[in-house]
């Protein structure tokens, strides 16, 4: 049937999109960057209310953002699509990945972390999963991908080039073992970089031709800004998001509607307590 282990082949593609991988065969040459500032006033209030409960002592804004992203993908399934060898696939799972440092120092090691967002997950279950994932790397429990990269970093350059070439070739043919891809961020639905945690704004970050990832999101710092509301200037909590996506997986209207839905989730954060696969409808414009 032409399926991959991580995705089902999509064949009912319209003419324009079926040609796009031939016109633009490279994912890195097909990326579109969307920069969006979103009002966080309601999310901040919701977060502060949750933190009053001792059971939520480990909860962070990053957990809220990841839950909203997971809910967004379940509501907008084309965001979980990828292209390999000019063929379209729908990913079998919704996954979110990020890079975690063992310590906030220049020399600290980094580790790839990938979480599965299941249909019945919500803010509380995903928060527990992320906290557990980060705790593992900060107690020196490295997984297979980290160990492989550390090993390759020590071998001669020509060996590295040969091994990486073989890995890239196997990647295109779906020959890489699951033990390598299951923790690799390049095989996730969305890569998330929480730059706000280090006091940085959202940036442009390129996609890569390796793996199957089609969307990368950078998150800036939540801070007070003067904005105009109903014609009057006022101070609001704002956050900048940088979204880089493979334009071939959907059209511009689909991406913009997805951004609007994400913004709606940020301004109605109570929805994050529901199962992520529950349908959310944008209110109709008057």
pLDDT at 273: 98
221-236 average pLDDT score = 92
Distance from C-alpha of 117 to C-alpha of 70, rounded to nearest angstrom: 6
Distance from C-alpha of 46 to C-alpha of 238, rounded to nearest angstrom: 15
Distance from C-alpha of 103 to C-alpha of 148, rounded to nearest angstrom: 21
**CATH fold of 7-142+180-270, please?**
Chloramphenicol Acetyltransferase (3.30.559)
pLDDT at 149: 74
Q: Tokens for 139?
A: 């107690």
Q: Give the end-to-end CA distance of the chain in Å, rounded to a whole number.
A: 46
- Backbone φ and ψ for 52, nearest 5 degrees, come out as -70, -20
Q: How confident is the model at residue 154 (pLDDT cuts 50, 70, 90)?
A: confident
pLDDT at 229: 83
Is pLDDT at 153 greater than 70 in this prediction?
Answer: yes
pLDDT at 172: 87
- pLDDT, tens only, 209-228: 999 999 999 999 999 999 98
Q: Of 238, 203, 241, 244, which Cα lies nearest the Cα of 222?
A: 238
pLDDT at 114: 92
Q: How confident is the model at residue 105 (pLDDT cuts 50, 70, 90)?
A: low
pLDDT at 230: 84
pLDDT at 146: 67
CB 94 within 8 A of CB 188: no
pLDDT at 42: 97
Comparing 135-144, 154-163, 228-237, which segment has the lowest mean pLDDT? 135-144
**Going edge to edge, which strands form the sheet with 81-84?**
7-10, 87-91, 81-84
CB 69 within 8 A of CB 115: no
Distance from C-alpha of 127 to C-alpha of 40, rounded to nearest angstrom: 19
What is the per-residue DSSP string for the chain?
---BTTEEEE----HHHHHHHHHS--STTSEEEEEEEEE-HHHHHHHHHHTTSGGGTT--HHHHHHHHHHHHHHHSGGGGEEEETTEEEEESS-EEEEEEESSSSTT--EEEEEEE--TT--HHHHHHHHHHHHHHHHTT---HHHHHHHHHTTS-HHHHHHHHHHHHHHHHTT-S-HHHHTT-GGGSSEEEEEGGGGT---------SSSS--EEEEE---EEEEEEETTEEEEEEEEEEEEEEEGGGS-HHHHHHHHHHHHHHHHSGGGGGS-TTS---PPPP-
What is the Cβ-side half-sphere exposure of residue 273, based on CA atoms within 13 angstroms? 8
pLDDT at 140: 65
- pLDDT, tens only, 174-185: 898 888 888 889
| Residue whose token pair is 């704004």 | 201
Q: 10 Å Cβ neighbour count for 199? A: 9
CB 97 within 8 A of CB 185: yes
Is pLDDT at 263 greater than 90 in this prediction?
Answer: yes
Q: Report the DSSP beta bridge partners of residue 217.
A: 192, 243
Helix axes 61-75, 123-138, angle to 10 degrees: 120
Domain ranges of the chain: 7-142+180-270
Is pLDDT at 107 greater than 60 in this prediction?
Answer: no
Mean pLDDT of all residues belonging to the chain? 90
Is pLDDT at 186 greater than 90 in this prediction?
Answer: yes
């Amino acid at each position: 049937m032409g399926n991959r282990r991580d995705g089902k082949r999509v064949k009912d593609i319209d003419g324009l999109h079926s040609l796009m991988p031939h016109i633009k065969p490279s994912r890195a040459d097909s990326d579109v960057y969307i920069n969006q500032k979103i009002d966080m006033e309601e999310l901040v209030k919701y977060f502060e209310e949750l933190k009053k409960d001792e059971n939520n002592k480990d909860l962070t804004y990053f957990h809220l953002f990841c839950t909203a992203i997971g809910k967004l993908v379940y509501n907008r399934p084309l965001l979980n699509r990828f292209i390999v060898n000019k063929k379209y696939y729908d990913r079998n799972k919704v996954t979110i990945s990020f890079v975690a440092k063992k310590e906030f120092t220049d020399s600290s090691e980094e580790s790839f972390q990938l979480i599965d967002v299941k249909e019945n997950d919500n803010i509380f279950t995903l928060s527990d999963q992320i906290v557990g994932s980060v705790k593992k790397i900060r107690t020196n429990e490295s997984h297979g991908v980290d160990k492989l990269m550390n090993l390759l970093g020590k071998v001669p350059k020509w060996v590295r080039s040969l091994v990486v070439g073989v890995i890239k070739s196997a990647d295109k043919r779906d020959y890489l073992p699951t033990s390598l891809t299951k923790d690799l961020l390049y095989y996730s639905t969305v890569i998330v970089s929480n730059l706000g945690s280090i006091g940085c704004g959202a940036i442009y970050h390129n996609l890569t031709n390796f793996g199957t990832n089609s969307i990368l999101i950078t998150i800036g710092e939540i801070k007070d800004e003067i904005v105009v509301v109903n014609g009057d200037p006022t101070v609001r909590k704002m956050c900048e998001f940088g979204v880089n996506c493979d334009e071939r997986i959907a059209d511009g209207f689909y991406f913009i509607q997805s951004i609007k839905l994400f913004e709606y989730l940020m301004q109605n954060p109570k929805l994050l307590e529901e199962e992520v696969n529950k349908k959310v409808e944008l209110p109709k414009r008057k």
